[in-house]
Amino acid sequence: MKKIKVMIIGNNDNQIYEIKSFLENDAIAFVGFSKLGEIALEKTLSLNPQVIIILCNAEGSDALDMAQKIYVKLPGSNVIFLCDQMSVAIIDKAMFAGVRKVLQLPVDSETLIENIELVNQVEKSRYENSSQGVSNRESKVVTVFGAKGGIGKTTIAVNVGAALAKMGKKVVMIDAKLQFGDMNVFFNVDSKNTISDLTQGSDCGDIDAIKRIMALHFSGVTILCAPKSPEYAEYVTVKNIDTIINTLRPYYDYIIIDTPPMFNDITMSAIENSNLVLLIAEPDISTLRNTKTSLSILDSLLQRDKTEIVINRVSNGMISIKDIQKVLDVTIKNKVPLDLKTALTCHNKGIPLVIEAPKTLIAQELIKLGKNVIDLIEKK
């Protein structure tokens, strides 16, 4: 059974964390949170949650305005108000703003989950019996991140994208390593036009403008390349990335984002917009230490639940998978074997492993990872 994707919007951090703790249920997938404001609307459109919980103060004007915008911009979603004070006026205004349910704080976990399931079921039944669908509800975003450079993160991102394309998925890849992105090299495509050319104008929300600067690989993968030179990175902002993701969603099954090995604003925007984060590591002490720290940071940012560990370059070395699981305190389900010869050969040719050498063990594991990505997202 698919989990119900839930997002929280509010200005009280303590309340957000408390409500988030109530959502630890097999039927619920917490996908993110945001402060009230325009950024909340952009994030909601990116995450496509089925249920949005909005924390409402006594006056409630900002919350009501946000609910109305969500009702207009994201058909098929359900807004639940959690109010400090209940009144007939608030309930009346909430109805006109498209709010499905108004509950008074404090609320217990059982009541909240019961109402989440109820409003979702009502909307799901209405949606299934409607002749119209929401075109972008099934679009998925996968961010590939690693806590250290040179661990094969881009290799995995490229091959996951190519594997998904081989499975019939429509895939676009965004190279968010803005200073030294080299995804175009892995695909051997011309990067004459890049993301910085797009963001220097006002075309980030224009799908035709985006498509004009993207490169198409023969595998079926479309690539939005990083700037040609590091100084052009400053032209790309967090808002640009959010807008580009929102614009691409209705047109692709999967958006794969390759990020730099740091928690900068661009990386955080990609992670927060994602349905799934692939955290890449390899069996060496320094990488595992950084990976453990990254897991802690993702947990504090409420992004841990959608993070999946991938161990790259696995061999019969001193550090075993059992050791890694003990260090990271996680179960390792995704492993890519060490095969530098095949990886370098394919990289130098500019052809993904899963296309050039599909029968090798490393390619087979990367194809398996692509299938796991689909399974992991479908379960959320």
In a domain, 172, yes or no: yes
Please tell me whether residues 203 and 321 are part of one structural domain. yes
Query: Residue 211 and residue 374: Cα distance in Å, rounded?
Result: 25
Q: Which tokens sit at 297?
A: 């940071």
Please tell me whether residues 318 and 177 are part of one structural domain. yes
Please tell me whether residues 271 and 365 are part of one structural domain. yes
Please tell me whether residues 148 and 229 are part of one structural domain. yes
Which range marks the domain in which residue 327 is found?
140-379
From 76, 101, 128, the end of a domain falls on 128
Please tell me whether residues 245 and 289 are part of one structural domain. yes
Which residues have a Cβ under 8 Å from the Cβ of 124 and sit 6 or more positions away?
50
In a domain, 134, yes or no: no
Q: What is the mean pLDDT of residues 277-300?
A: 96
Q: What is the mean pLDDT of residues 296-307?
A: 92
Binned at pLDDT 50, 70 and 90, residue 281 comes out as very high
pLDDT at 89 over 90: no
The percent of residues in the chain predicted with pLDDT above 90, rounded, is: 67
Query: Residue 346 and residue 354: Cα distance in Å, rounded?
Result: 9
- Domain count for the chain: 2
Q: Which has the closest alpha carbon to 328: 312, 309, 307? A: 309
From 62, 95, 128, the end of a domain falls on 128
Binned at pLDDT 50, 70 and 90, residue 58 comes out as low
Contact indicator for 258, 154 with CB cutoff of 8 Å: yes
Query: Residue 159 and residue 192: Cα distance in Å, rounded?
Result: 23
pLDDT at 333 over 90: yes
Q: What is the mean pLDDT of residues 26-33?
A: 89
Query: Residue 136 and residue 147: Cα distance in Å, rounded?
Result: 31
Please tell me whether residues 56 and 156 are part of one structural domain. no
Please tell me whether residues 152 and 300 are part of one structural domain. yes
Question: Across the beta sheet with 307-314, what order do the strands follow?
Answer: 215-216, 222-224, 171-175, 254-258, 140-146, 276-281, 307-314, 334-337
CATH number at 17 reads: 3.40.50.2300
Q: What is the mean pLDDT of residues 317-324?
A: 92
Please tell me whether residues 84 and 146 are part of one structural domain. no
Contact indicator for 91, 72 with CB cutoff of 8 Å: no
Please tell me whether residues 227 and 370 are part of one structural domain. yes
Per 3-state DSSP, the chain is made up of helix, strand and coil in percentages (nearest 5) of 50, 20, 35
Binned at pLDDT 50, 70 and 90, residue 329 comes out as very high
Angle between helices 61-73 and 38-47 (to 10 degrees): 40
Write the pLDDT tens digit of every residue in 148-158.
Answer: 999 999 999 99
The percent of residues in the chain predicted with pLDDT above 70, rounded, is: 95
Please tell me whether residues 43 and 72 are part of one structural domain. yes
Q: What is the pLDDT of residue 379?
A: 66
Q: What is the mean pLDDT of residues 262-271?
A: 94
Q: What is the pLDDT of residue 43?
A: 86
pTM score over 0.75 = no
Query: Residue 342 and residue 353: Cα distance in Å, rounded?
Result: 8
Beta bridge partners of 52: 7, 79
Q: What is the pLDDT of residue 292?
A: 97
Beta strands in 63-114 (DSSP E): 78-83, 99-104
Query: Residue 269 and residue 119: Cα distance in Å, rounded?
Result: 29
